[in-house]
Structure 1
């Protein structure tokens, strides 16, 4: 640690430890006396933490002194860290102390062995020097790397720590805990030092995964993909040094840099040959290993193995597990040891594991070792068994991995294996894990590579699975093609495959808005499915039929009942996929009719049901979370949106994470957070992967763009993506996209040239034509579509008005009043408030100042609740500007802290409070409500403030007493 304490990079993940050090060393508590023994593995971040401590202490006026013990082997220099401290003093202080305390002269002027000086005098002089320095300002003495300290230095450290100082003198002594094997000379000293009065021990553990991710973000000089970040988190195991080394590795799935691997392998040099042999076997285990398994794998006597294990434990290479097994203290060292094995040596060890585990071991372990041992027949069978076991416990991610690995050695499958069935099972596992596009691509690859002797029945099964996956991946052309090809090879006979094909044909027809065809195919599938006892087909086809009937729209009450019936029937049959699909359609049934409250409840219910079934990222399960967030946004429940899109504790697949971020961008846009455009740019790469992601982040960019011209660029880029990758350039979103862009034109019209204003008016009419084509091709739309269509007309009139084109003021007023009414009927407070702000502008310009004030006041209250700062600024000129005069209302974006009884609890706060009353922790509440622990903590703070409680227990008591 150099004498310059300044740091250019933020400290990550060590806030708690830093706070404790600040208090113990007097920076946070001037009355503190004593010291801290700071330990941790090499590279864990001790020096970085000490630099931060030193910087804070120096800023607080402390005299920070630092000395280092050096790894010089038998040539260690006695008292090296103290000599470094004394030599580093400024010349006048150094001279004064040398004259006042002659025994320190040898340390100060180069004779560091202290020859000719009584040791007792030397030790007492060091203490006296610290007292002298502390007379003017507090002293913080840091001794680093005490694991390399010689005996003389260790004795002096013990003496210094044991003294009672008159002035403010504090200490921190750091050492590597992974170096302290059983016979290390520092080990008994640490035990003794920790018993001294005022001395505390602080073990620095690994960084949390979230902190590692933050460390990567702060240290990386170039962008690192999500998969690479995940690999770094896994490999580094919380070690800051390794994190920073891995950041510069190009292939995170490849071997470590030789410099890092060589550095780690040096630790094995402390072991004898037997110890290294055992260590190699443990490294190949892939995790913890028991005594019995090691006995079966390692060709050594049991006593020799035990002695080797003891040496590895003493040198802190291995650690004991809770189940009385052994594992590497750092997984990366195990990786380095495995990579260092000779190929034949590695295969031999893994083959020994296969033999030991084959009869009663875990299938996943057998499969992994069999792959490494190059035993493909064993690997195939074990992988399929492992996939089936994972599926039974809803471990869909793991099942997908095992199925894919089995398919990679399908050529070694036993005779009679149904490979087509295996492909379909792998596709379904990928879908359940949320990797729909991979599921679709997997079947596509097998269809392309299928042997010529594939039977019609096998090809038909693959085509039905392909069409289903393509449909879930939001493809339009491929499902239609799959159904056509499947009908050519699947005969019209009463078979399960025919029933599945007819059910798929119904879905494809409904998706293509051919509702009569969808009902016909669904009816046929239901009839055949009931005849053959195919409950899953019946449930799927019933959901499709109900959806098609609802889109016709002639029986809303019946549609709602049918969706409920399908969901209940599916639930009773244990068909969670059909249940989720029915609830998804029911939620959209409410959504499209403007009943956003019930739509949100259904989406949230589907989200929770999917999570219970381990399908939280699968279609309909993830849709529950995603569309609950979208619905909450439209309802003005923006805090709930932030909860639902908070992915820190969820770890979704990358596309799902991007989708949630896209919805969150709508809130950021409403609150005017222009820096979030960087997020849109990052998400731009995901636009071809999800249409809703593209639309939500793209429309947020239109609002966030710096001016109308930049907004037009984002709009046009979004249109190009829709045309190239999705349903063509005229999806329903064109109404909203057009209205938002014309709004930006109107906002900037007063500050641009006449020529550009005229061009914008022409472009606005083109956008209206595009919207009309979207209505013709994809309409009719529900109440939301009608509201945005009306908003587009109103924005065009506003643009024409600002551009000086002929515009009837009465028509402009009528248009904005209609727009306001439509969004109010929809229950969208933000768009209602935005429409109200436009109406206030027009009313004010027309001379109706009281009317403008009334419209602005109504809009202001909604914008204030949403903390929509740009809208609040826009409304400010019209507030309090009634006929009687008065000053405009002051806009306060952040509401003051609530006083007891002033504000009621929100619905979410009531949910949290109910669990508080039951005595649950924040983590337990987060799990039950599917939100992050951090969000729960915020809610708890709000509850305490609103109830006037100082503790959770008091809040629960108030709730019981008042029945809050």
Structure 2
């Protein structure tokens, strides 16, 4: 306890640590949860609510019962530190590792516990598979917990946990039986949506159970008791307690900091035997905990503040010797001021280790942010030099300190070392974060900058825009470093590559085109540049132009690294398949099924995923499923978890086509709603599938919303737009359907890129047919035929037959159309693609009805309706059901002999049906639903009837058919103009 404050000649009592108040219920709940079967207790709450105090009070009571616990804390990722909290917990819990008599497995712990090297078994043989190495490390930790007889593993602030720590927790709680009870504290609002922490409760073994606790703020009475315990138990007036409660909302840390600040200011007085505020109307309490802490820090002496600044810069528990080195104070001055630093209530000394740290992370961050920039750089430089002297220097911490000190060479060296170590262990997220932080904050030489940017796996970075800061750094190097043409081209190529990754396709292409003349022929950069230019992204270009970039590439240099060759081979296969070239399948066979190098694993995972995506476009669904399965297996084996969402979205797309709709809505919803951890491209693909599914089940409004979101991504835009246009056709809005497809016609079919026309061409054809533009519709079919040719591409070939069937139907050749629709259905079924096959059979049956083949058509429609219902396409099944229900009383059937009927200028039976419903006032959309045909078919039949009866409007048609006695009486109220 520090000496009291002098006020009006009287010394106020020194403040005590506050008593544990208002948490009896939570303590009992914790005790009940951990008294029996293994449990995982999740304590969540805002900063300062008392999670740490609750945990430590509970663990103290457990220690009295003889239950041993290990406690660790996760630090904010200013210093990425793999398994840091678990390592700290074990280090704190054991001072004699030799007595544990660990097995040879524990040799895997040597890199994390260098100080125990003499006591640990020999290091095991290195494993090339990073996942196997990590699994071995996890098993070694479990053995340590067992030998230490640990009952509880408690980790604090798990919202900041690194990926490896969360994986270890998943490993721990999924074991059967669960080795220890696990207690975690975290702030729910700071947990990233993609965090593995959210999956923890679902991974528990069957004999474990999750328990959630949420500490509540103190009420006024509890606040009074809390404050009283800080003031030697003196009475606290109700008015004072209400004042403090109102300004702190009962958050314990805020209450404590406010009282400490008022004590430092001498704003407390004794009145009527109790404690109250001096000058009730003039005391101000800072609005946040942070502000209260900072005001208290400013009241300390400069050397004491220096000690606090050094502790904040080290950003975690630090031994006094390191802390002394960072302060730059003499040992005598440090010794004198360290007492005041500890007595301020901001720092605490940790147990056996004797390390110092801030009592609360909020204090550390508040103090750090308040350090003047010049002083902060000096402190980081001293910290880096001090940590370099450790027996095993902590490279991730060194990377941070030298980066923030502006020491470029050292920052680059340690950043690359730390990133390489993270990558080798499968922790690519930390590797990407380390390099991105360096590139975004330090002006680097162009050569170093290019090397580092090529190492960033942007997909592993969280946040909505990891690209802009990197592009800005590259542009600064290009503009300000006086580079040679070759060096400038290398930087410019990286700008273009990153821009294209960010979705700025045309801007990226311009940069790459400007770079190519100065890139070395045969280099990896030249090859990658050509592949990027070959991809049909952005504005429409003829497919031949894209292919030229691939076919005219100079041969690769013999000195090219094997990883570069693997990367280029996978990318080239993807580009060829995207461009519709069958040679892409031969190239895809060069992608290995498995690799052991984690860096190669990332390349191969993406390669298989990309080939699987293109196989789906080609209609090679077995190949697509196999490739995606390989990608997923590799991603899971090598812990490339950031690729799993992309694989999941591609698999959802494949499942939509193949009719595997069970659970598809839920799977896509998870991807769409995760806007923090899932890439926009993957969210848009999931939204496309969700929209298509909602359209099939009848929720058109929701479908439109999902499809419009999907159209935000360049790779999903064409198919999403086609689906939106189909919704318009279903609603009878032919003009809007034509307008929507007009915008992308050149991109989808004009340049000969058939792989993007598979879903687009049928909708474009249908829209043009419905608008009476049969010539342009035929042009679409011809363009698709010319692009596809005789390629072994089942999906576009089936799409082509479907388009021809539409043209035949529009041309008044229902028998030919029926046969073509049957061919399309058979082609779809062979893929298999059941939904499209069923819709094609429905249209074939309707064409058969138009030719009078009711006995064949009606059973076919009934079977189609039943199968659609079983699939989940309720809207379509209901439409056919309504049509069939009304067929019994149809008096429009005309008896005729064998062969195709010739109606001449007479209306066909179907045209008479349409005319009857037109007279009744139905719109094209309503007529289509009633007759189970498309709106464009109705529009075509209306135009045919108008031509035969020589009228120029729908109203005139209705009048003519009534006056001619072709249909029943006309309700004149329906004739209200066009």
Q: What's the TM-score once normalised by structure 2's chain length?
A: 0.51
Query: Paired residue for 1:66?
Result: none
The gaps in structure 1 that reach 5 residues or longer are 1-19, 25-37, 47-141, 155-173, 186-257, 746-757, 801-805, 886-964
Render the CA deviation track for 1:873-903: whole Å, top value 9, x for unaligned.
2232256889899xxxxxxxxxxxxxxxxxx
From 640, 643, 651, give the equivalent of 2:667.
643
Render the CA deviation track for 1:22-65: whole Å, top value 9, x for unaligned.
xx9xxxxxxxxxxxxx996689699xxxxxxxxxxxxxxxxxxx
From 654, 660, 667, give the equivalent of 1:631.
654
8 Å CA contact 1:617–1:656 kept in 2: the answer is no
Offset of residue 612 of structure 1? 4.3
Offset of residue 635 of structure 1? 0.8
From 449, 454, 461, give the equivalent of 1:427.
454
Render the CA deviation track for 1:548-578: whole Å, top value 9, x for unaligned.
998999999xx86764454259779973355
Structure 1 CA distance for aligned equivalents of residues 749 and 348 of structure 2: 53
Distance verdict in 2 for CA 1:294–1:510, change over 3 Å: closer
Offset of residue 696 of structure 1? 3.9
8 Å CA contact 1:671–1:868 kept in 2: the answer is yes
Distance verdict in 2 for CA 1:381–1:698, change over 3 Å: same
Query: Paired residue for 2:838?
Result: 833
8 Å CA contact 1:523–1:545 kept in 2: the answer is no
Query: Paired residue for 2:110?
Result: none
Distance verdict in 2 for CA 1:561–1:182, change over 3 Å: closer
Offset of residue 319 of structure 1? 11
Q: Verify: 1:766 aligned to 2:776, yes or no.
A: yes
Distance verdict in 2 for CA 1:625–1:337, change over 3 Å: same
Offset of residue 510 of structure 1? 9.0
Q: Verify: 1:821 aligned to 2:846, yes or no.
A: no
8 Å CA contact 1:367–1:383 kept in 2: the answer is yes
Structure 2 CA distance for aligned equivalents of residues 694 and 515 of structure 1: 20
Offset of residue 828 of structure 1? 0.9
Structure 2 CA distance for aligned equivalents of residues 871 and 670 of structure 1: 7
Structure 2 CA distance for aligned equivalents of residues 308 and 423 of structure 1: 45
Q: Which has the higher contact order (CA 8 A, sep 6+)?
A: 2
Offset of residue 178 of structure 1? 3.6
8 Å CA contact 1:813–1:839 kept in 2: the answer is yes
Query: Paired residue for 1:579?
Result: 604
8 Å CA contact 1:830–1:863 kept in 2: the answer is yes
Query: Paired residue for 2:233?
Result: none
- After TM superposition, the structure 1 = structure 2 runs for residues 710-725 of structure 1, keeping only pairs within 5 Å, are 713=736, 716-717=739-740, 720=743
Structure 2 CA distance for aligned equivalents of residues 646 and 589 of structure 1: 24
Structure 1 CA distance for aligned equivalents of residues 850 and 351 of structure 2: 76
Render the CA deviation track for 1:739-783: whole Å, top value 9, x for unaligned.
33666x6xxxxxxxxxxxx99433565355345435545766622
8 Å CA contact 1:708–1:741 kept in 2: the answer is no
Q: Verify: 1:807 aligned to 2:807, yes or no.
A: no
Structure 1 CA distance for aligned equivalents of residues 313 and 748 of structure 2: 45
Q: What's the TM-score once normalised by structure 1's chain length?
A: 0.51
Render the CA deviation track for 1:221-243: whole Å, top value 9, x for unaligned.
xxxxxxxxxxxxxxxxxxxxxxx
8 Å CA contact 1:427–1:440 kept in 2: the answer is no
Q: Verify: 1:148 aligned to 2:204, yes or no.
A: no
- After TM superposition, the structure 1 = structure 2 runs for residues 412-491 of structure 1, keeping only pairs within 5 Å, are 419-430=446-457, 433=460, 441=471, 445=475, 448-449=478-479, 451-454=481-484, 456=486, 458=487, 461=490, 488-489=517-518
Structure 1 CA distance for aligned equivalents of residues 499 and 227 of structure 2: 73
Offset of residue 426 of structure 1? 0.9
8 Å CA contact 1:293–1:356 kept in 2: the answer is yes
Distance verdict in 2 for CA 1:738–1:427, change over 3 Å: same
Q: Verify: 1:694 aligned to 2:717, yes or no.
A: yes
Query: Paired residue for 2:631?
Result: 606
Offset of residue 485 of structure 1? 6.9
- After TM superposition, the structure 1 = structure 2 runs for residues 518-667 of structure 1, keeping only pairs within 5 Å, are 524-525=555-556, 529=558, 532=559, 534-539=561-566, 563-567=588-592, 575-576=600-601, 579-580=604-605, 583-584=608-609, 587=612, 591=616, 594-610=619-635, 612-613=637-638, 624-639=647-662, 641=664, 642-643=666-667, 646-647=670-671, 651-667=677-693
Distance verdict in 2 for CA 1:400–1:820, change over 3 Å: same
Offset of residue 288 of structure 1? 5.6
Distance verdict in 2 for CA 1:763–1:452, change over 3 Å: farther
From 869, 877, 884, give the equivalent of 1:872.
877
8 Å CA contact 1:297–1:353 kept in 2: the answer is yes
Structure 1 CA distance for aligned equivalents of residues 785 and 485 of structure 2: 44
Structure 1 CA distance for aligned equivalents of residues 356 and 252 of structure 2: 18
Structure 2 CA distance for aligned equivalents of residues 259 and 780 of structure 1: 79
SS at match of 2:592: helix
Structure 2 CA distance for aligned equivalents of residues 345 and 151 of structure 1: 37
Distance verdict in 2 for CA 1:509–1:453, change over 3 Å: closer
Q: Verify: 1:312 aligned to 2:345, yes or no.
A: yes
8 Å CA contact 1:40–1:175 kept in 2: the answer is no
8 Å CA contact 2:774–2:807 kept in 1: the answer is yes
Offset of residue 181 of structure 1? 6.4
8 Å CA contact 1:629–1:640 kept in 2: the answer is no
Structure 1 CA distance for aligned equivalents of residues 821 and 286 of structure 2: 66
8 Å CA contact 1:463–1:486 kept in 2: the answer is yes
Distance verdict in 2 for CA 1:447–1:294, change over 3 Å: closer
Distance verdict in 2 for CA 1:388–1:764, change over 3 Å: farther
Structure 2 CA distance for aligned equivalents of residues 701 and 825 of structure 1: 27
- The alignment of Structure 1 onto Structure 2 pairs a total of residues equal to 623
Q: Verify: 1:273 aligned to 2:300, yes or no.
A: yes
Query: Paired residue for 1:790?
Result: 801
Render the CA deviation track for 1:692-712: whole Å, top value 9, x for unaligned.
232343334335559647686
Distance verdict in 2 for CA 1:312–1:770, change over 3 Å: farther
Structure 2 CA distance for aligned equivalents of residues 338 and 448 of structure 1: 33
Distance verdict in 2 for CA 1:438–1:766, change over 3 Å: farther
Render the CA deviation track for 1:282-325: whole Å, top value 9, x for unaligned.
44444565666545445565686477557637xxx989799997
Distance verdict in 2 for CA 1:617–1:462, change over 3 Å: farther
Structure 2 CA distance for aligned equivalents of residues 596 and 463 of structure 1: 39
- After TM superposition, the structure 1 = structure 2 runs for residues 137-286 of structure 1, keeping only pairs within 5 Å, are 144-149=219-224, 176-178=251-253, 262=288, 264-266=290-292, 273=300, 280-286=309-315
Structure 2 CA distance for aligned equivalents of residues 151 and 582 of structure 1: 60
Render the CA deviation track for 1:671-692: whole Å, top value 9, x for unaligned.
33334357448737x73xx422
Distance verdict in 2 for CA 1:554–1:39, change over 3 Å: closer
Structure 1 CA distance for aligned equivalents of residues 564 and 367 of structure 2: 51
8 Å CA contact 2:728–2:734 kept in 1: the answer is yes
Structure 2 CA distance for aligned equivalents of residues 40 and 702 of structure 1: 47
Distance verdict in 2 for CA 1:332–1:694, change over 3 Å: farther
Q: Which has the higher helix share?
A: 1
Offset of residue 827 of structure 1? 0.8
